[in-house]
Amino acid sequence: MLRAHTGTAVRAAEQPLLEAGQGDALMRRAAWGLAQHVLAELRRRGPVAGSTVAALVGSGNNGGDALWALSFLRRRGVHTVAVPASRSRALHDDGHAALLAAGGQVVDQVPSGAAVVIDGILGTGARGAFELPDGLVLPEGATVVACDVPSGVDADTGQVLGEVIPADVTVTFGAVKAGLLLGAGAQAAGRVELVEIGLGPYLGAPDLLSVGEPELRAAFAPPRWDDHKYSRGVLGAAAGSEQYPGAAVLVCRAALASGLGMVRLAAPEAVRQLVLGAAPEVVAQDQVGGKATAWVCGPGLGEDESAADRLEAVVVLAAEQGLPVVLDASALSLVSLAQVRRLRAAGAVVVMTPHCGELVALAQRLGAEAGLDAGEWESGLDEDPVGAVRELAETLDVVLVAKGPSTVIVEPGGTVFVQTEGGAELATGGTGDCLAGVIGAVLARGAADAERPAVGMQVAAAVRLHGLAGRAAAADGPFGASALPDQIRSVLATAAAK
């Protein structure tokens, strides 16, 4: 499990250590770790001694880290140059002295032969929009290693307001910064490597979590020897309509691929025939009903009266039995606040899975009805997406899965998860239907498991599984959503073999 803290939280954690006069020691620890990662990059490319590493160096402590790292690299036979990159061209005093003492140089331009360029312009002290230094040219093929945070990325929110220096690797200090996992920040950060500098005892609870393989394995564990189909979980699905029959196929196939006891589908005749052709193991019926341990409602449901009837039937059943419900796609625009409240009052977990457009529409419709100032909420969405998703989740008292390049999962009163496994290849019709099936499956399975992880973690594991399946599918070339179920099985087979 990856734990991330905002840049602000990390700065607060550093404060007592700075006051105790440990700033230099912290900086040297950070710089040493940075130098080790740069050495690893150099080794990957060829001989270390004789190679060139350049650092773009700002005037603050981020620049100080980069200068100290250059001084350590210089002692390994690396040709090291610092390129002042702030308007004032000022450099951190001690770092500057350390570089010169080690035999490094200060120059005006990044040498064209630099194998690695360290971005040490701005770190957690960045405020507002960043402008690239005038005339900056990075050598083609050089590996860009960001020091703590790529310059231009807000370490709290991941927002990129102005320009940015995208990194291949970000070596971050003390704690993974939340901004490296969110939106444009995650995109700019590349691979993230953490260097411990001893902040552990001073850091509070993480601001964000991201599940990894152990959580995926726990949420999607293979069946126990004495399991039977009902103990493995039964997912009920109200999905598909004559207009959108395929969505039901995707939900059912993705759920089956995730491993559970049974999928039960409530849909019109034409949809049932299509689903049974693709997955004859599905129990297909025309009405919502029968034994299930969780329900998913919405993919391809349409928005006519019969869609609303199917949603209402799911709400009644789930409220009666206290079952978890995943509301996706059409259900997000059909569901009423009264229905959500009925489910919550009955103790049913409600998971909503909006993409960005659906998220805004939810805030405007149900959020506003529940007392949210939707205009103000929307104006804060870009600046602090996690805060906005949390506010809406708490207002509606539901688990929100805000889908996108970084999918944010918020359980009211619980931890926030963010998963970034999936790539833009997932931006193709029907992948969200598959995700609804995977989330439905994990909840159906979990409902039967006394030792189940918290709902937020189960849902985050489902999002990770879906993202990894997308990545695996993309490795074979462009794909449509119907390629995902087989990849879900492969990802789970690999996870189980570890």
Subset of 40-99 contacting ligand NAX (CB under 6 A): 58-63, 65
179 touches 4 (CB < 8 A):
no
Nearest CA-CA partner of 106 in 150, 66, 137, 134 = 66
> Residue 128 binds which one of ligand NAX, ligand ADP, none, with CB within 5 to 8 A depending on kind?
ligand NAX
β-strand pairing of 399-402 with 407-410: antiparallel
Asked if 433 is part of the footprint of ligand ADP (rule: CB under 6 A), the reply reads yes
Q: What are phi and psi of 424, to 5 degrees?
A: -65, -15
291 is in an annotated binding site: no
∠ Cα 50 51 55 (to 5°): 130
166 is in an annotated binding site: no
Return the H-helix or E-strand segment holding 236.
Answer: strand 234-238
Asked if 19 is part of the footprint of ligand NAX (rule: CB under 6 A), the reply reads no
Nearest CA-CA partner of 378 in 366, 365, 364 = 364
CA distance 384 to 445: 33
Stretch that binds ligand ADP, among 126-134, 172-180, 379-387, 429-437 (CB under 6 A): 429-437
CA distance 190 to 48: 23
Asked if 209 is part of the footprint of ligand NAX (rule: CB under 6 A), the reply reads no
Asked if 471 is part of the footprint of ligand ADP (rule: CB under 6 A), the reply reads no
> Residue 270 binds which one of ligand ADP, ligand NAX, none, with CB within 5 to 8 A depending on kind?
none
Asked if 38 is part of the footprint of ligand ADP (rule: CB under 6 A), the reply reads no
247 touches 430 (CB < 8 A):
yes
> Among 427, 454, 475, 496, which residue sits at the site for ligand ADP (rule: CB under 6 A)?
427
432 is in an annotated binding site: yes
> Residue 26 binds which one of ligand ADP, ligand NAX, none, with CB within 5 to 8 A depending on kind?
ligand NAX
> Among 2, 9, 13, 26, which residue sits at the site for ligand NAX (rule: CB under 6 A)?
26
Spell out the residues 6+ positions from residue 181 whose beta carbon is closer than 8 angstroms to its own: 2, 4, 158, 192, 208, 210, 406, 418, 420
Q: What are phi and psi of 316, to 5 degrees?
A: -60, -50
Residue 497 C-beta: closest distance to ligand ADP, Å: 25
> Residue 404 binds which one of ligand NAX, ligand ADP, none, with CB within 5 to 8 A depending on kind?
ligand ADP
Residues comprising the chain, all counted: 498
Q: Which residue is nearest to ligand ADP (CB)?
A: 432
310 to 349: interface string for ligand ADP, x by CB under 6 A: -------------------x--------------------
Binding site for ligand ADP (CB under 6 A): 329, 355, 403-405, 407, 422-424, 426-427, 429-433, 435, 466
Give binding residues for AMP as ranges.
Answer: 403-407, 432
